[in-house]
């Protein structure tokens, strides 16, 4: 997945032809979009909150080192430990070590995109540790050996018949004649199966939507409650979070939480929002006895100093995915990245390099809807364009594209040349189209004419007609 | 082409930014734009030293060429009171992106900002600057209107074309189900990722056909050519025109991608 | 793998280099300390400024929309009655798991003599639980429950049916006011192990966006507003 350029176009073509996927994507285009708008309509302060949130993140990022230091101190005060991981490999190694120190045979996981980013599950499994995703969508894609296709709704590309087949295959010890044809039966089965895992887990690993410097807390939002069972039941709780998740205070968390669920799913708030601070206290009857936070850099500090710093404001709501016509057409897997959609188009080249990920920022019409709905005011199209500049500077675009652009630019900078050539070209095209008024085939234009006719030019350029009309005193 | 009386020498002087697509594919849009601007009481000149706003280079990551073209445009158009383009994406280029592109150039930074402040998409200029509230045109059709992404999101143009269309005699406007959604053109995107572009286009085409309108209008020729190209390939019975043509009452020419003889 | 000190320094140094700042920049440190001390509020939604009965109504409305059952009980006696009847509604045996919370202990349980109460953290066999919220924010129908022996966290997640008692006087408008209440109990910059903000019963939409209750946590939530 995502080995090179050809994958994107091939994967996109498959996605476009996949009728089940296309049907499922309607839930994104119709569901999330409509619900977000409804939530926004119910909260008159929505746009002011976006300004507040942007200011919070900008302030935090410009003082990131200091807030991390404060956060670390507070975590230690509450009895937890912070581990810095400069790279994905560091994070994997730290977490594996913590799991081994805890004697872990079974690890449950709350949904964490960062854990996907670093390839954590495979690493733990290679060390003979069983890893079970507990977010229902994540559990299902784990059964399928797939990667999530959406950062909020990992299994949104699947329909219930597919999920039923997966459950029957994976839960093969359960009675064959049981009903699984409705969502409620599938959920009930998942609840039962995963309950055993929750209770037996040695270590629970969650991500964090936010880290709070003031109190040394990590925050997760879920609707299912799986994150809480993951973090509360095992002996050890490990939080894996990237460094830009931090905000200064509880009030700052409030502001961002007001935007997060509304932007993501259109809910006013998720069912459960949990603030976790350290391990169990002396008198606590439940909770983990060890609490570890792994702070991942993996390119974030570099972004602080480059043109992509604004991307660090992202709160991973997924609104940009939901409103993107490209994501809506091809779904998440075609992007070949943990992070699809517009935010993925900006983040993935930073993580994988522009050479490998060049299709992501290039496959955009720059419609700007992502930026319009982003609660954190991130200029996504501008940053995709910046990636295109880097891509171009490295000579990555195909030769024919670069040649055509060079020729076009040469003419565009020389009006006389341009006008002369333009006249010749449109005359040729108009003659070729004839009375039909359009061209279904044209040399060098197969990319267009494969699916669309090309409207014929009217036959002369405006400039030549205008000059003639002026000469005749008609304008 | 009928001759028009010379506009009042007192009105502001507008430099028409033709746009490369209009220049090459559909000059009638520019003639319609001139007619409308003059009807609004301004004078129009069309400097010959113009080619393109630079978007193809800009969106391909060729910043150098884009800057060279931007400088050219600034030099050519800065003498006018206003610069008007029958295109949201080109006007957006001048209004939003030129100041950023030339921000580091001491010779052009201020000039680009000055030009940006007086650059407009056609309908928003007619309504917002010239104060035009109605046009003298008739078009007895059910019409639907596609808002180009640049017009909508870069320039916040939404009401202006609708205001003017409302004054066209016999015209009834039916809104698209999802007017905020891209048509899939995106300039070079339409040929670099044609499958995806066409899939997005198909949703727009279904929306257009679903309105039952006989004509679809927009303010950007790129979108229009894209939409027309698919409508005609799918043999749909919907005419495609630039909004300027209808507002100027200049609909004798065949519609976009339509045959020379009118049906 | 490098020593923790080295990796820590590596990350922080990289951040400072990217920002173009020095570690000992006094002005920056002061800015951070001040902001943490002040913990300024952002925009508070106007709906959070409702008072009195309007505020309670907002909480009730939000929770109901989010799938919870909400009951206003004027007296402690009716609270106990509501709990008993809820267990019946949920088709659950009259057994209730709760913590050491004194307010809950002081309810007139003799009014529901057949409810078998047990105390401590929840286990897999506990099907119904009772907790008390320290405060609730009406703006989204959100109850704040804190961990500890009084209301163990597992009570919130393991059972099928969860009842949360909240005093009407503990309902505030905004999240910020709720956190101030929590700060008043636990001090500045210190929190218990967990603060659970609960706004409804457990749910998932992961299967074709169809909402199903009881994904992992309780499928039923009763919120009793006392007073």
Number of domains in chain A: 3
Instruction: Pick left, alpha or beta for residue A33 (phi over 0 → left; psi -120 to 50 → alpha; otherwise beta).
Output: alpha
Q: In which element (H, E) is residue A319 found?
A: helix A319-323
Together in a domain, C106 and C169: yes
Contact (CB, 8 A) for C138 and C175: no
Residue C103 lies in domain: 47-226
For residue B168, the 8-state DSSP code is S
Both structure tokens of A130: 């069983």
| Closest among A449, A410, A413, A450 to A429, alpha carbons compared | A449
| Closest among A241, A278, A297 to A76, alpha carbons compared | A278
Query: Under DSSP, is residue A272 helix (H, G, I), strand (E, B) or coil?
Result: strand
What does the alpha-carbon distance between residue A231 and residue A213 come to, in Å, rounded to a whole number? 20
Together in a domain, C53 and C163: yes
| Closest among A105, A135, A107, A103 to A121, alpha carbons compared | A107
Together in a domain, A143 and A21: no
A425 has pLDDT over 70: yes
What does the alpha-carbon distance between residue C105 and residue C99 come to, in Å, rounded to a whole number? 9
Together in a domain, C51 and C89: yes
Distances (CA, A) of A170 to A164, A176, A226, B170, C23: 10, 12, 20, 64, 53
Together in a domain, A462 and A328: no
At residue B4, the pLDDT reads 47
At residue A26, the pLDDT reads 87
Together in a domain, C126 and C201: yes
pLDDT band at A27 (very low <50, low <70, confident <90, very high): confident
**Does residue C16 belong to the interface with chain A, where contact is any CB pair within 8 Å?**
yes
Chain B residue with Cα closest to A416: B49
Together in a domain, A125 and A26: no
Together in a domain, A17 and A109: no
Query: Under DSSP, is residue A85 helix (H, G, I), strand (E, B) or coil?
Result: strand
Distance of CA A4 to the CA centre of its chain: 19
At residue C6, the pLDDT reads 87
Bridge pairing between strands B119-121 and B82-85: parallel
Together in a domain, C122 and C205: yes
Query: Sign of the CA dihedral C170, C173, C175, C180?
Result: negative
Q: Which residues pair with B142 in a beta bridge?
A: B172
At residue A4, the pLDDT reads 52
Burial status of residue A380 (CB atoms within 10 A of its CB: 0-12, 13-18, 19 or more) = buried
Burial status of residue C183 (CB atoms within 10 A of its CB: 0-12, 13-18, 19 or more) = middle
Identity of the residue in A9, A436, A440 whose CB atom sits nearest the CB atom of B259: A436
- Give me the residues of A, 189-208, that contact C with CB < 8 A: 190-191, 194-195, 198-199
What does the alpha-carbon distance between residue C12 and residue C35 come to, in Å, rounded to a whole number? 20
Chain A residue with Cα closest to B258: A437
Chain B residue with Cα closest to A450: B194
- Give me the residues of B, 147-186, that contact A with CB < 8 A: 149-150, 153-154, 180-182, 184-186
Task: Determine the residue among A232, A242, A283 to mutate to test chain C binding: the one whose Cβ has the most chain C Cβ atoms within 10 Å.
Answer: A232
Together in a domain, C81 and C22: no
Contact (CB, 8 A) for B75 and B108: no
Note whether A86 contacts C14, CB cutoff 8 Å. yes
What does the alpha-carbon distance between residue A173 and residue A40 come to, in Å, rounded to a whole number? 46
Chains C and B touch, using 3 or more CB pairs below 8 Å: no
Which positions in chain C touch A187 (Cβ < 8 Å)? 204, 207, 212, 214-215
What does the alpha-carbon distance between residue A462 and residue A464 come to, in Å, rounded to a whole number? 6
Contact (CB, 8 A) for B246 and B172: no
Among residues A271, A298, A325, which one ends one of the domains? A298
Q: How many CB atoms lie within 10 A of CB C217?
A: 29
pLDDT tens digits, residue range A89-99?
A: 999 999 999 99
Which positions in chain A touch C133 (Cβ < 8 Å)? none
At residue C1, the pLDDT reads 54
At residue A1, the pLDDT reads 43
CATH code: domain of residue A111: 3.40.50.10420
Contact (CB, 8 A) for B146 and B185: no
pTM score, whole prediction? 0.96
Note whether A272 contacts C4, CB cutoff 8 Å. no
Which positions in chain C touch A279 (Cβ < 8 Å)? 193
Distances (CA, A) of A455 to A132, A406, B244: 55, 25, 18
Chain C residue with Cα closest to A83: C4
**Does residue C71 belong to the interface with chain A, where contact is any CB pair within 8 Å?**
no
Which subunits have 3 or more CB–CB pairs within 8 Å of chain B? Answer: A
Together in a domain, A423 and A388: no
In a domain? residue A308: no
In a domain? residue A323: yes
Together in a domain, A134 and A255: yes
Together in a domain, C94 and C196: yes
Which positions in chain A touch B46 (Cβ < 8 Å)? 462-463, 466
Distance of CA B189 to the CA centre of its chain: 19
- Give me the residues of B, 31-90, that contact A with CB < 8 A: 31, 34, 46, 48-52, 54, 56-63, 65, 68-69, 72
Together in a domain, A374 and A423: no
How distant is the Cα of B150 from the closest Cα of chain A, in angstroms? 7
How distant is the Cα of B142 from the closest Cα of chain A, in angstroms? 22
Distance of CA C177 to the CA centre of its chain: 14
Together in a domain, A153 and A268: yes
In a domain? residue A304: no
At residue A473, the pLDDT reads 85
Identity of the residue in B51, B198, B254 whose CB atom sits nearest the CB atom of A418: B51
Chain A residue with Cα closest to B76: A415
Contact (CB, 8 A) for A249 and C35: yes
DSSP string computed for chain C: ---HHHHHHHHHHHHHHHHT--TT-HHHHHHHHHHHHH----PPPGGGG--HHHHHHHHHHHHHHTT-EEEEESSHHHHHHHHHHHHHHTT--SEEEE---HHHHTS-GGGGTT-EEEESS--TT--EEEEE-SEEEGGGTEEEEE-SSSS-GGGGTSSSEEEEEEEGGGEESSHHHHHHHHHHHH-TT---SEEEEE-SS-EEEEETTEEEE-SSS-SEEEEEEE-
Together in a domain, A259 and A168: yes
**Does residue A310 belong to the interface with chain C, where contact is any CB pair within 8 Å?**
no
pLDDT tens digits, residue range A365-411?
A: 999 999 999 999 999 999 999 999 999 999 999 999 999 999 999 99
For residue B145, the 8-state DSSP code is E
Note whether C17 contacts A199, CB cutoff 8 Å. no
At residue B114, the pLDDT reads 98
Q: In which element (H, E) is residue B146 found?
A: strand B142-146
What does the alpha-carbon distance between residue B221 and residue B226 come to, in Å, rounded to a whole number? 8
Contact (CB, 8 A) for A44 and A247: no
∠ CA(B3), CA(A431), CA(B224), 5° rounding?
70
Chains A and B touch, using 3 or more CB pairs below 8 Å: yes
Identity of the residue in A183, A186, A229 whose CB atom sits nearest the CB atom of C157: A229
At residue A2, the pLDDT reads 45
**Does residue C217 belong to the interface with chain A, where contact is any CB pair within 8 Å?**
yes
At residue A253, the pLDDT reads 98
Q: What does the pLDDT average to over A262-266?
A: 97
Contact (CB, 8 A) for C66 and C200: yes
Together in a domain, C27 and C63: no
pLDDT band at A6 (very low <50, low <70, confident <90, very high): low
Q: Which residues of chain B have pLDDT under 70?
A: 1-9, 262-263
Distance of CA C72 to the CA centre of its chain: 18
What does the alpha-carbon distance between residue A294 and residue A120 come to, in Å, rounded to a whole number? 12
Contact (CB, 8 A) for A187 and A226: no
Together in a domain, A28 and A175: no
Contact (CB, 8 A) for C47 and C58: yes
Task: Determine the residue among C41, C42, C144, C154 to mutate to test chain A binding: the one whose Cβ has the most chain A Cβ atoms within 10 Å.
Answer: C42
Residue with tokens 């003799």: C110
Distances (CA, A) of A269 to A234, A261, A373: 27, 5, 18
**Does residue C62 belong to the interface with chain A, where contact is any CB pair within 8 Å?**
yes
Tens digits of pLDDT across chain C (227 residues): 568 888 999 999 999 999 999 878 999 999 999 999 999 999 999 999 999 999 999 999 999 999 999 999 999 999 999 999 999 999 999 999 999 999 999 999 998 889 999 999 999 999 999 999 999 999 999 999 999 999 999 999 999 999 999 999 999 999 999 999 999 999 999 999 999 999 999 999 989 889 999 999 999 999 999 99
Tell me the Cα Rg of chain A. Answer: 26
Contact (CB, 8 A) for A151 and A347: no
Residue A419 lies in domain: 399-471
| Closest among C79, C109, C62, C55 to C225, alpha carbons compared | C79
ipTM for the whole predicted complex goes beyond 0.95: yes
Together in a domain, C14 and C72: no
Chain A residue with Cα closest to B221: A455
**Does residue A281 belong to the interface with chain C, where contact is any CB pair within 8 Å?**
yes
Together in a domain, A138 and A283: yes
What does the alpha-carbon distance between residue A264 and residue A258 come to, in Å, rounded to a whole number? 11
Together in a domain, C135 and C52: yes
User: Which strands form A130-133's sheet, in the order they lie side by side?
Assistant: A81-85, A290-296, A236-242, A203-206, A106-109, A130-133
Residues 6+ apart with CB under 8 A from A443: none
Together in a domain, C209 and C113: yes
Size of interface A-B (CB pairs under 8 A): 216
Q: What share of chain B is helix, strand, coil (3-state, %, to 5)?
A: 45, 10, 40
**Does residue A188 belong to the interface with chain C, where contact is any CB pair within 8 Å?**
yes
Which subunits have 3 or more CB–CB pairs within 8 Å of chain A? Answer: B, C
CATH code: domain of residue C166: 3.40.50.10420
Contact (CB, 8 A) for A444 and B12: no
Note whether C42 contacts A67, CB cutoff 8 Å. no
Which stretches of A145-210 are DSSP H helices? 160-170, 183-200
Identity of the residue in A64, A67, A136 whose CB atom sits nearest the CB atom of C204: A136
At residue C113, the pLDDT reads 85
Together in a domain, C19 and C51: no
Number of domains in chain C: 2
């Amino acid at each position: 997945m995502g080995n090179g350029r050809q994958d994107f176009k091939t994967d996109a073509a498959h996605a476009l032809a996949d009728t089940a996927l296309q049907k499922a994507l309607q839930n994104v285009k119709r569901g999330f979009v409509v619900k977000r708008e409804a939530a926004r309509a119910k909260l008159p302060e929505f746009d002011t909150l976006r300004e507040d949130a942007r200011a919070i993140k900008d302030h935090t990022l410009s003082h990131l080192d200091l807030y991390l230091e404060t956060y670390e101190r507070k975590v230690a005060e509450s009895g937890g430990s912070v581990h810095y991981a400069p790279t994905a490999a560091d994070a994997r190694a730290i977490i594996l070590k913590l799991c081994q120190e805890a004697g872990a045979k079974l690890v449950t996981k709350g949904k964490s995109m960062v854990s996907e980013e670093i390839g954590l599950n495979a690493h733990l499994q290679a060390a003979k540790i069983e890893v079970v995703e507990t977010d229902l969508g994540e559990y299902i894609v784990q059964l399928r050996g797939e990667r999530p296709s959406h950062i909020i709704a990992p299994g949104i590309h699947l329909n219930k018949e597919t999920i039923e087949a997966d459950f029957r295959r994976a839960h093969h010890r359960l009675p064959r004649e049981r009903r699984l044809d409705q969502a409620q039966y599938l959920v009930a089965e998942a609840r039962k199966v995963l309950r055993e895992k929750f209770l037996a887990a040695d270590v629970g690993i969650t991500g964090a939507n936010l880290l709070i410097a003031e109190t040394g807390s990590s925050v997760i939002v879920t609707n299912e409650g799986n994150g809480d069972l993951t973090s509360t039941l095992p002996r050890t709780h490990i939080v894996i979070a990237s460094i830009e998740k931090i905000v200064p205070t509880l009030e700052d968390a409030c502001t961002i939480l007001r935007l997060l669920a509304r932007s993501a799913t259109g809910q006013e708030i998720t069912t459960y929002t949990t603030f976790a601070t350290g391990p169990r206290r002396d008198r606590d009857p439940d909770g983990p006895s060890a609490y570890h936070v792994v702070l991942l850099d993996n390119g974030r500090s570099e972004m602080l100093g480059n043109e992509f710093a604004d991307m660090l404001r992202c709160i991973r709501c997924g609104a940009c995915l939901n409103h993107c016509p490209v994501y809506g057409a091809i779904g998440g897997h075609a992007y070949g990245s943990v992070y699809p959609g517009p935010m993925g188009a900006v983040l993935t080249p930073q993580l994988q390099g522009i050479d490998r990920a060049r299709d992501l920022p290039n496959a955009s019409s720059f419609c700007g809807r992502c930026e319009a709905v982003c609660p954190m005011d991130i200029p996504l199209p501008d940053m995709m364009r910046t990636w295109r500049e880097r891509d171009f500077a490295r000579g990555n675009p195909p030769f024919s594209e670069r040649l055509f652009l060079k020729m076009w630019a040469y003419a565009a900078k020389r009006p006389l040349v341009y006008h002369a050539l333009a006249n010749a070209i449109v005359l040729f095209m108009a003659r070729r189209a004839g009375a039909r008024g359009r061209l279904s085939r044209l040399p060098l234009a197969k990319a267009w004419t494969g699916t669309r006719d090309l409207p014929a030019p009217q036959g002369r350029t405006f400039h030549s007609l205008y000059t003639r009309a002026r000469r005749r005193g008609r304008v | 082409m009928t001759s028009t009386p010379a506009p009042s020498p007192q009105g502001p002087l507008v430099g028409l930014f033709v746009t490369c697509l209009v220049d090459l594919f559909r000059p009638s849009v520019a003639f319609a734009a001139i007619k409308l601007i003059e009807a609004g009481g301004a004078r129009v000149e069309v400097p010959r030293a113009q080619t393109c706003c630079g978007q193809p280079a800009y969106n391909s990551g060729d910043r150098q060429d884009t800057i060279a073209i931007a400088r050219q445009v600034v030099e050519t158009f800065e003498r006018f009171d206003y610069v008007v383009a029958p295109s949201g994406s080109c006007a957006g280029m001048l209004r939003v992106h030129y100041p950023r592109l030339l921000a580091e150039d001491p010779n052009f930074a201020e000039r680009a900002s000055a030009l940006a402040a007086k650059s407009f998409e056609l309908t928003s200029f007619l309504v917002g600057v010239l104060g035009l509230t109605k046009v003298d045109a008739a078009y007895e059709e059910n019409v639907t209107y596609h808002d180009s992404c640049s017009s909508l999101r870069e320039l916040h143009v939404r009401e202006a074309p609708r205001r003017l269309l409302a004054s066209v005699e016999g015209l009834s406007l039916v809104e698209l189900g999802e007017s905020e959604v891209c048509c899939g053109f995106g300039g070079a995107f339409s040929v670099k990722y044609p499958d995806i572009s066409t899939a997005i286009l198909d949703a727009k085409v279904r929306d257009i056909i679903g309105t039952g309108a006989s004509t679809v209008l927009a303010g950007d020729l790129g979108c229009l050519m894209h939409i027309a190209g698919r409508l005609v390939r799918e043999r749909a019975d919907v005419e495609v025109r630039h909004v300027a043509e209808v507002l100027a009452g200049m609909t004798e020419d065949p519609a976009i991608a339509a045959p020379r003889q009118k049906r | 793998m490098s020593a923790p000190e080295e990796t820590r320094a590596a990350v922080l140094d990289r951040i400072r280099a990217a920002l173009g700042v020095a570690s000992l920049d006094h002005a920056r440190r002061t800015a951070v300390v001040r902001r943490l001390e002040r913990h300024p509020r952002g925009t508070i939604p106007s709906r959070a400024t409702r008072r009195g009965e309007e505020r309670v109504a907002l909480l009730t409305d939000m929770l109901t929309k989010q799938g919870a059952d909400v009951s206003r009980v004027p007296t402690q006696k009716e609270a106990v009655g509501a709990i008993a009847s809820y267990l019946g509604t949920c088709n659950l045996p009259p057994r209730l798991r709760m913590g050491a919370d004194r307010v809950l202990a002081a309810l007139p349980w003799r009014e529901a003599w057949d409810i078998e109460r047990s105390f401590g953290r929840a286990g897999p066999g506990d099907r119904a639980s009772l907790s008390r919220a320290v405060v609730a924010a009406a703006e989204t129908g959100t109850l704040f429950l804190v961990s500890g022996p009084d209301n163990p966290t597992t009570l919130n997640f393991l059972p099928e049916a969860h009842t949360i008692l909240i005093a009407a006087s503990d309902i505030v408008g905004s999240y910020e006011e709720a956190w101030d209440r929590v700060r008043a109990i636990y001090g500045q910059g210190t929190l218990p192990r967990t603060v659970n903000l609960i706004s409804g019963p457990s749910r998932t939409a992961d299967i074709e966006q169809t909402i199903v209750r009881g994904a992992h946590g309780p499928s039923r939530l009763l919120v009793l507003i006392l007073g």
